[in-house]
Amino acid sequence: MTTSDLIPAATILMLRDGPAGLEVFMVVRHHQIDFASGALVFPGGKIDAGDNDAAAFCDGVEHASSEQIAFQVGAIREAFEECGVLLARADNETQLISGDRLATLDVYREKIHAGEITFVDFLTQERLRLACDCLQPFAHWITPEMMPKRFDTWFYLAAAPGDHLAIHDGSESVDSIWIEPTAALQGAKDGTYTVIFPTRLNIEMLAESPSLETAMTDAQSRNIKTVLPWTEQRSDGNYLCIPADAGYAIAEERLPDREG
């Protein structure tokens, strides 16, 4: 598989300050989804061809490449489709759309997902602009080469609009939760949640920030390194490895022994 075979994807870590500190919105993937089925993940998905056509509807992308814009558009679209949060402004407005306005747009979620209307046509009809300036790049991961389906995924942070009700869509995701990063990690450890390796490491990184403000500041100062994991066979077993300078707490992890 070559680089051109990678499937571009994007995800948003939607954040808020809760009673005990930073919280992130996560969803549980439907068991029939072909990637990370049943897992606790951040809302997101594949970049659509139409995401490349939305540059004219984006705020804050003056210095971004067309590829970077498509990732940001896809992240915002997926968050809207999957959890009903839309980082967008009405034309000539500086504030994000209100929860009341968002409620009138809910009917579009399934239509966009089903391809009945393009995202650009939706933005045009509703006179909306995407708030790409609200996205903070957080991480960049590429699925290991030994996997049959490989994704090139950008992770972004965003402050959840206070009056947007985040909720799972019932199809791609079957449950949702606002959760403190430490609680998600504990749930992964005790078996409450299934959390795949990239998600867990990004939750661990997020857990280093006690609040929304510090999470954004920490991400702004971080040098994001593309993470392409690989495996190494050693005398005591197989190890999954990532670059040591990627900014995560660990750079390798021993894989469970295969049964049989």
Tell me: the pLDDT tens digits for 90-134? 999 999 999 999 999 999 999 999 999 999 999 999 999 999 999
Give the pTM. 0.90
The pLDDT tens digits of the residues spanning 151-188 come to 999 999 999 988 776 554 444 444 788 999 999 999 99
Residue 140's domain spans which residues?
Answer: 3-224
Q: Is 229 inside any structural domain?
A: no
Name the pLDDT band for 34 (thresholds 50, 70, 90): very low
CATH label of the domain that carries residue 103: 3.90.79.10
**Burial zone of 243 (CB within 10 Å; 0-12 exposed, 13-18 middle, 19+ buried):** middle
* 79 φ, ψ (degrees, to nearest 5): -65, -35
Cβ atoms < 10 Å from Cβ of 126? 16
Percent of the chain with pLDDT over 90: 77
The per-residue pLDDT for 259 is 59
Mean pLDDT across the chain, nearest whole number? 90
Q: Is 252 inside any structural domain?
A: no
The per-residue pLDDT for 162 is 82
Q: Is 150 inside any structural domain?
A: yes
Residue 215 has pLDDT above 70, yes or no: yes
What CA–CA distances, in Å, run from 163 to 36, 96, 99? 29, 10, 5
Answer whether 123's CB lies under 8 Å from 57's CB: yes
Q: Is 157 inside any structural domain?
A: yes
> In terms of Cα–Cα distance, which of 105, 156, 112, 154 is closest to 132?
156
The per-residue pLDDT for 158 is 97
The mean per-residue pLDDT over the stretch 74-96 comes to 94
The mean per-residue pLDDT over the stretch 25-38 comes to 59
The per-residue pLDDT for 28 is 81
Q: How far apart are CA 198 and CA 208, in angstroms?
A: 16
The per-residue pLDDT for 31 is 47
Number of domains forming the structure of the chain: 1
Q: Is 246 inside any structural domain?
A: no
**Burial zone of 12 (CB within 10 Å; 0-12 exposed, 13-18 middle, 19+ buried):** buried
Q: Is 242 inside any structural domain?
A: no
Q: Is 139 inside any structural domain?
A: yes
Answer whether 59's CB lies under 8 Å from 69's CB: no
Q: How far apart are CA 27 and CA 173, in angstroms?
A: 6
Q: How far apart are CA 40 and CA 36, in angstroms?
A: 8
The per-residue pLDDT for 176 is 82
Q: How far apart are CA 101 and CA 93, in angstroms?
A: 13
Name the pLDDT band for 37 (thresholds 50, 70, 90): very low
Q: Is 118 inside any structural domain?
A: yes
The answer for 205, left when phi > 0, alpha when psi is -120 to 50, beta otherwise, is alpha
Residue 33 has pLDDT above 70, yes or no: no
The mean per-residue pLDDT over the stretch 211-221 comes to 97
